[in-house]
Structure 1
């Protein structure tokens, strides 16, 4: 850690730490960075506010695009899985989007470790969206619960999963000495707990500060506190969407922020560190606003392409009625489907669902993804192609 660059930080302080490093079997004495509580207001340049306003406008258009659908939740489902793939990739866990969709139909023991971990994010995110929709405020307890879901069945699953960390962590240290760490967050004592509770209070309190600015500040603070022994990046990025939803700026979780950040991983990581070093918010707020703006435009474009696909399916099925038409309409949210799922979703017999899917295969709208006669999974290649862009 570049101690000299953090020594005079205007928004935090260095605190001495010592302990035993079990990785190398040695005692250590070093320092950790403890961020100050977030400010009630923040002074930003006019150019920064301009970027924020543009991002907010684009996000409003994206939200409105989703709202035009009879069932906007259809778009939230693939959006969550796209976010899961990219936010996990930022932490070094890679999976194909198509494999994550397929995981909905497979037993846990049939999933690779990477797909299982990405699937954990989907479960956690969908649970979080439901909590926000039910009016629950963002809280440390909520995040503890979500972190437990994220780590379920992974190498990091264990006694600390689902709880704020009780040990010191070091960021970017690998197998090297503690002094090689890129960043050392607060000690796991009252300084971490006090900072986390102050963050929780700050994120909940009403404020005239634009939501996107608050999202940027809260994300920095969460990552600087690094409250869990694993999963902080994924949770922190999930909180960004939860903030937008809780504030009413985003009615449906259709905005993917992680794909844009994944393409700019180094800039993203450097930006977080630079805030600690300088205390200057403008570049960081502009960076997060740019991510939201760019991904909001992607949402609008994706919605247009998916709706065009749905219209093409209707044209292909012109004159058809019943279950096949209903399945085709919903493929933008369910690009993979089984006969059993179709029967359950549309309240028809297995035979009726099977006949409908066979018709969609015949028309080239679906194809069978898995071999065999039982547990068959069907997918829409054209929908997946749009989602994977």
Structure 2
């Protein structure tokens, strides 16, 4: 095997940090080496990357075949936002996340609590929308763009100079101080290493696209360039780069959903690269996750197609009703206002639509936030959240 591990990183002392395990503080803060341009990986890793890319291609075509691609894209984004909120240590139900997206899309009043679903998921969704719009406009997924994403995720707005948004204190990887598994260094090196990361991402080379995404994802995690939300930024980078480099045309792979179920192994794999330089094991893990999650999405689309066929048999072939039912795949929580806006119909028509869908058992009415009536498509919510055949 011609594989060479990464060079050793550097370690720097850190001051007393409240809540951080003492052995970790004594170890110091890690500074990763730059990513090499001539990294060779084992043949088995290249095979796994090829499997992942093939699965992504199949997924992208299946999303097109479903006929409601914008709906499947939005449901993927909402599932990712829901899982990302969970990774922050706050559990939010998928139904509540869809309701929060509905509320945010209508410019509703801001939530009063920091743990409210809208407060947790809306910045993530805004950051995804901004990043995808920039990629479609031809922007590279570089340090400037991930800086914009980080600003939006933390409640700010893009536009500040990159050096002004980087962290100025040691960082930590882990869901909390007490569960930290790596401290990361700070200082002037962050700007230089982030610029090198951007150059490396933009370079054309012979690496499989999934391998490049995996390596760049790892480096962004251990650099931790921003004061907060670095894990969210790394996952969003991976999604945006998969779209930019043509692996998929839209965000149809819910990467955070996989991470939510494999967090312990994810952390172990990152720490293994730090300790051994064996980045091939990380790439193999990442590619396997992408492949398995893409295959789970393919199964989900199959179930959604079957559900759409069942609905079609129960609905008239003309009018708005079939389209509304089909797009419940991406918008399984609706209200009359959202139907009026999305389909350009009157208030009476929206009321008639929901009444008919409730009568057919496709929608279920439910009060939300104590004063507004929303309608749930439980069949879709079960497939997105609870079905054992639609998760990796």
Q: TM-score if structure 1 supplies the norm length?
A: 0.87
Q: In structure 2, how many angstroms separate the alpha carbons of the residues matched to 1:76 and 1:175?
A: 34
Mapped pair 1:129 → 2:125 = no
Kindly report which structure 2 residues correspond to 1:86-105, keeping only aligned pairs within 5 A, or say none: 86-105=83-102
Partner of 2:120: 117
How far has the Cα of 1:32 moved from its partner? 2.4
Structure-2 change in CA distance of 1:60 and 1:372 (3 Å): closer
State the secondary structure of the residue aligned to 1:239: helix
Mapped pair 1:147 → 2:145 = no
How far has the Cα of 1:172 moved from its partner? 4.8
Mapped pair 1:287 → 2:294 = no
How far has the Cα of 1:30 moved from its partner? 6.9
Partner of 2:236: 238
Structure-2 change in CA distance of 1:356 and 1:32 (3 Å): same
Equivalent residue in structure 2 for 1:191, among 175, 180, 189: 189
1:52, 1:213 within 8 Å by CA — same for their partners in 2?
yes
Mapped pair 1:382 → 2:385 = no
Q: In structure 2, how many angstroms separate the alpha carbons of the residues matched to 1:367 and 1:121?
A: 28
Partner of 1:251: 249
2:102, 2:338 within 8 Å by CA — same for their partners in 1?
no
State the secondary structure of the residue aligned to 1:365: coil
Structure 1 unaligned segments of length 5 or more: list them.
Answer: 1-8, 154-159
Equivalent residue in structure 2 for 1:64, among 37, 61, 64: 61
Q: TM-score if structure 2 supplies the norm length?
A: 0.86
Structure 2 unaligned segments of length 5 or more: list them.
Answer: 104-108, 157-161, 388-392
Q: In structure 2, how many angstroms separate the alpha carbons of the residues matched to 1:14 and 1:152?
A: 33
Partner of 1:163: 165
1:12, 1:33 within 8 Å by CA — same for their partners in 2?
no
Q: In structure 1, how many angstroms separate the alpha carbons of the residues matched to 2:230 and 2:116?
A: 17
1:115-136 Cα offsets, whole Å, 9 max, x none, are 2213321221122122212211
How far has the Cα of 1:285 moved from its partner? 0.9
Mapped pair 1:365 → 2:356 = no
Equivalent residue in structure 2 for 1:352, among 319, 327, 349: 349
1:144, 1:162 within 8 Å by CA — same for their partners in 2?
no
Q: In structure 2, how many angstroms separate the alpha carbons of the residues matched to 1:111 and 1:370?
A: 20
Structure-2 change in CA distance of 1:372 and 1:276 (3 Å): closer
Structure-2 change in CA distance of 1:18 and 1:364 (3 Å): closer
What is the number of residues matched between the two proteins? 367
Partner of 2:390: none
Partner of 2:10: 14
2:78, 2:101 within 8 Å by CA — same for their partners in 1?
no
1:193-238 Cα offsets, whole Å, 9 max, x none, are 1111111111122222101110111111011111112111111011
State the secondary structure of the residue aligned to 1:378: strand
- Output the aligned Cα RMSD: 2.7
1:149, 1:162 within 8 Å by CA — same for their partners in 2?
no
Q: Which aligned segments of 4 or more residues in structure 1 are displaced greater than 4 angstroms?
A: 18-24, 172-176, 371-374
1:343, 1:349 within 8 Å by CA — same for their partners in 2?
yes
Partner of 1:229: 227
